[in-house]
Structure 1
Amino acid sequence: MNKLYTFPQRYLMISVPLTLIIAFIVGTMVDTRVLQPVVLYATIIMIYATMIGFNFKELTSLQGTKVLIFSMIINFIIVPIVAYLLGVTVLKEYPIMFAGLALSALLPTSGMTISWTALHQGNVPAAVKLTIFGLILGSLLTPWYLLLMVGQLVEVDILQTFQTIITVVFVPMILGHITFKILMKRMTLPEFKRRVKPALGPLSIWAMLFIVFVSVSARASMIINNLELILIATLVLIAFYTINFAISTFFAVKFFNRGDGIALVNGTVLRNLSIAIGLAVASFGAEAALIVTIAFVVQQQGIALYGKLALSRWFKKDKKEESNIMNKPVQA
């Protein structure tokens, strides 16, 4: 059972495409729209699981200020401009998909930012700070950016968007912090990291896959009848991520050391697609959810390929760093 429970997290690049295929098949045979009200609760669970044990004390630390400032400039100026230019040129005839791309662009960083930074042996504390600030600032700015970027093409309800963000971001954040405080009264931090934290990641992924399944299966017939939407969305997202990887890598290599550079790239290229798809379903519908869903696949494949390339070129460890790691004493 544990292998089944952790499978989506261990094989995310397989899980998302497989969920898409199953959603299409089931959606052509069964009307799954009855499940749509449950999507909101699944979104809350998904974010809640990632918020338990989040180190909010990182917000008060002055370390990593430079990389934080650069990440905010990239995340909230450069990336939205890239998304806007792609939207008005390629997606002008598909305004709902444009809204989905905008949502993907406006919500930076996720738990994957921290995970990939740790995997690439970058600056994990900096990645945590980028994730927290990006999540909070992105949540506050997204409704206004949406109005500015797609307001002339799609009706944007500012109040409704704020209400949705409060429900799916800030409520789970507060509940996650309360849960962590309660757990700390019953166990030590090492026990939490060993026994509880590993079980939270898969829960978040399962909730995400449920959202993907419902959002796609409920509109399967419409999507299948418009397969060109999938092709257009895929090409736009490949262009979006390629440009973002290039821009982030330029700043990371030019202005930062290896550890901070890795954190910067992962904190500016990886988007919080879990929240984006919840907002897309609630605010815009099928086409918006479709482009965010495909973004899951492009993002995971992209960071995996980029990691192999970057670690062998731009973020190679010198011999001194490798020696320090090999000789570093193991702490109990």
Structure 2
Amino acid sequence: MFALAWLLLPDLPEYRTGLIIVGLARCIAMVLIWNDLSCGDREAAAVLVAINSVFQILAFAALGWFYLQVLPGWLGLSTSSAEFSVWAIVVSVLVFLGIPLVAGFLTRTLGERARGREYYESRVLPRIGPIALYGLLFTIVMLFALQGDAITSQPWDVARIALPLLAYYFLMFGGSFLLGMRLGLGYAKTATLAFTAAGNNFELAIAVAIGTFGVTSGQALAGVVGPLIEVPVLVALVYVALWAARRWFPGDRTVPDAAVRSAR
């Protein structure tokens, strides 16, 4: 994303910074949706999501500082504005990622200890599970309400932001899918790898952009455009993955039945 942002948005530093932040935010939520739709490996997806969650808490701020301040200086490029603050990124990550992760861990640990795993998974999870979806939808509605005027009044800027995003999703998905095939992972794990690599945690990226640069900043606008592009593109890539399953994975037991039936 760093390379694509600099190649395609050399004259728009705010949008460029926003896209780099999007690229740093690895997907930890929606990837579970794409993985299920494409019949990927659920256990592998859960492991990758857990790794991404912990890694982002520990390294997101350092990576942001490196890609926004250090690497551009090494390459003779302009760095981010004076508004940039590593501490603001740290706080945003801890609030929007660290707190939910710790709360989820404690909820499961204490719930299973109090009533057992079967009760927790059959009675508690169905009740609290939808809260995450409601919170996500509320966040998206509020963000589009705040940035709606900028999106509708600057269609050319939105199109320019969309171009590196499109290139990013297709390159990351295609490269990771081919890598999984090359490594002989089988269809399910290959699909999981591809969607984990291609997806982004746009909620975290938007939170960091708003916390660091402001709610009406160009960086926040770039983050808001992210899900506008990511959702339809990755839905389309689900169909690509299912098509590839029946064409490129003959005899693979992890290929979903729907893909096999459509091939017949």
TM score, norm. by length of structure 2:
0.80
CA 1:193–1:141: 2 relative to 1, 3 Å: same
List structure 1 runs of 4+ shifted beyond 6 angstroms. 322-325
Q: What is the correspondence of 1:301-316 to structure 2 with a 5 Å cutoff?
A: 301-314=232-245
AA in 2 matched with 1:232: R
Cα deviation digits, residues 144-203 of structure 1 (max 9, x gap): 222232331334211221122122222221122122223224544334333333444432
Instruction: Report the number of matched residues.
Output: 244
Identity of paired residues, percent? Answer: 17
- TM superposition shift of 1:88: 1.1
The alpha-carbon deviation at position 105 of structure 1 amounts to: 1.0
Which residue is 2:33 aligned to?
115
- After superposition, the Cα gap between the structure-2 partners of 1:132 and 1:119, relative to the gap in structure 1 and judged at 3 Å, is same
Matches within 5 A, 1:286-305: 286=216, 287-305=218-236
CA RMSD of the aligned region, Å? Answer: 2.7
Distance in 2 (CA, whole Å) between partners of 1:144 and 1:180 is 30
**3-state SS of paired residue (2:253):** helix
Matched residue, 1:210 = 138
Match of 1:274 in 2: 203
* Counterpart mapping for 1:84-233 below 5 A: 84-151=2-69, 152-155=79-82, 156-233=84-161
Note the 1:45-60 alignment, pairs <5 A: none
Post-superposition CA distance 1:107-156 (Å, at most 9, x none): 21213223332343332222111111112212322222222323313342
2:260 is the alignment partner of 1:260: no
Give the counterpart letter for 2:222 in structure 1.
Answer: I
Name stretches of at least 5 consecutive residues in structure 1 with no aligned partner.
Answer: 1-82, 326-332
CA distance in 1, matches of 2:177, 2:256: 25
For structure 2, list consecutive stretches of 5 or more residues without a partner in the other structure.
70-78, 258-264
- TM, length-normalised to structure 1: 0.65
Task: Specify whether residues 322 and 139 from structure 1 end up closer, same or farther in structure 2 by C-alpha distance, changes over 3 A only.
Answer: closer
- State the 1:252 CA deviation: 1.3
Give distance in 2, aligned partners of 1:324 and 1:230: 37
